Amino acid sequence: MKRFTAFVVGVLLSVVAAESAWSQGTPASAAPGSGGIAFVDMRRLFQEYWRFDQVQQQLVDRREALTAQFRKEKVAIEQLMEKSNTLNTDSQEFQELADEIETRRYMLKYRQDTAVKRLERDAAKQETMLYRAVFRECQAYGESRGLAAVLQYRTLDEMLPQDAAGDIDTVVGLRPVVWRDDRADVTSAILANLNADAPPPQPKEQPANDGAGGGDDAGK
């Protein structure tokens, strides 16, 4: 997938919650039931959640299958065009072939456009599904620890690298929390819960033993 939604939280809520959480000098994540806050890196949650790769691969497989299908049809149309070049332009066969070529070109474009829209729609649905799963895990984590909120946080260097000019309005709008204590980051804990049901990794295929080198053992 080529993009992820920017999730913006209210500045006022963030500031009020932050002042409450840090007034005692203890990160909220270390004080269950305090009504404090915790932070997550939403990009990490998406990209390191095992279902993200699964969804991405499914979309890639569909796209490649469609591409191969459309390429095959394009080649067939090109072959018809080559055939038409050998015909008398005034013949009925040429006219019928020209009509077929025009129809197939139109249908190919229609099918391509429809397929792209369907892929984009399905990708958006899958992205929503992933976000809801992440949301539920953040909610469960926060409720189990009596937190008031779990907020998204992006570092300044991530959005505005050193010595780089940027759109300050955008940076400010997407970073309602100016600073946080790193101890309040619970991204890894949320990921551990999200990935608890991940399937075991597939064993790597071992190279086939073709018997090379066996002569040394036989001669011993």
Domain ranges (residues) in the chain: 11-197
What is the distance between the alpha carbons of residues 185 and 154, in angstroms, rounded to a whole number? 11
pLDDT band at 61 (very low <50, low <70, confident <90, very high): very high
Among 44-48, 59-63, 190-194, 211-215, the minimum mean pLDDT is found in 211-215
Please report the pLDDT score of residue 124 as a whole number.
96
| Higher-pLDDT residue of 132, 22 | 132
Question: What's the distance, CA 190 to chain centroid?
Answer: 18
Please report the pLDDT score of residue 1 as a whole number.
44
Look up the pTM and report it: 0.67
Between CA 35 and CA 157, with CA 173 as vertex, the angle to 5 degrees is: 90
Q: Considering the chain, what is the average pLDDT of its residues?
A: 81
Q: What is the mean pLDDT of residues 182-205?
A: 90
Please report the pLDDT score of residue 209 as a whole number.
62
Q: Is the pLDDT of residue 52 over 90?
A: yes
